[in-house]
Structure 1
Amino acid sequence: MTARILIVEDEALVAMELRFVLEDLGHQVVGTAADARTARNIVRETEVDLALVDIHLSDGPTGIELGRELGQEIGVTVLFMTANPGMVRNGVAGTIGVLSKPTDERAVQTAVDYALRRRTGEPVQYAPPQLQLFG
């Protein structure tokens, strides 16, 4: 299953590594954004299936509100990726869950696969252990 994925991450090396992992898995990375405004512009201009969203971006801790907006208002499937998972411990409406950073290629692959299966309504037995699901 090929998906159009947006990476919202302010650390360029992390974003680049994620891009390589996702493209190796056969996905199309439609863009990377270091801040919420850039992410919104990309979503306005292109179709996005999944967004991997960090919480702390170059414009501050704007990822939580961005994730809620993308998930609830625009219909993008959202997974948070952050070193601060406690900031979203109680969940964020319209989003699936959080993957703690640092992470590895396998965890990204299984979390993305899980999120995309949920997006298309495919049955999913259980979430990958590294992915903390929201209620």
Structure 2
Amino acid sequence: MTARILIIEDEALVAMELRFVLEDLGHRVVDTVADAKSARDVVRENDIDLALVDIHLSDGPTGVALGRELGQEMGVTVLFMTANPGMVRNGVAGTIGVLSKPTDERAVQTAVDYALRRRQGEPVMYAPPELQLFG
């Protein structure tokens, strides 16, 4: 399944590497943005299936509220990707879970596949071990 993915990450090298991984997997990366306002603008203008959201963005620690908004109000499936998974240990309404950084290509692939299968309503027995699920 090809998905339309938005990368919300303020570290350019991390965003670029994620983009390469996702495109190699056959997905379409609609954009990479570094702050919450840009993310909202992209989601309003495009049909986004999945957003990979860092917690600390160029406009501060805005990722948690952004993820909640994208998931609950804008219909986007949200996975957090952060070096600070403890900041979302209690879960965030409207989002699936968190993948700790640094991570590898296989972990990204399995987490994205899991999230997209859930979005499609497909049965998923187990989450990838690297993905900490919320509620």
Q: TM-score, normalised by structure 1?
A: 1.00
Residue by residue over 1:73-127, the C-alpha shift from the partner in whole angstroms, topping out at 9 and shown as x without a partner, is 0110000000000000000000000000000000000000000000000010100
In the other structure, the counterpart of 2:44 is 44
1:32-71, aligned counterparts within 5 Å? Answer: 32-71=32-71
In the other structure, the counterpart of 1:76 is 76
- For 1:101 and 1:32, the matched residues in 2 are separated by 17
- For 2:64 and 2:71, the matched residues in 1 are separated by 11
Q: How many residues align?
A: 135
List gaps (5 residues or longer) in structure 1. Answer: none
In the other structure, the counterpart of 2:6 is 6
- For 1:122 and 1:3, the matched residues in 2 are separated by 15
Amino acid in structure 2 at the alignment position of 1:88: V
Amino acid in structure 1 at the alignment position of 2:15: A
Aligned-CA RMSD value: 0.3
In the other structure, the counterpart of 1:85 is 85
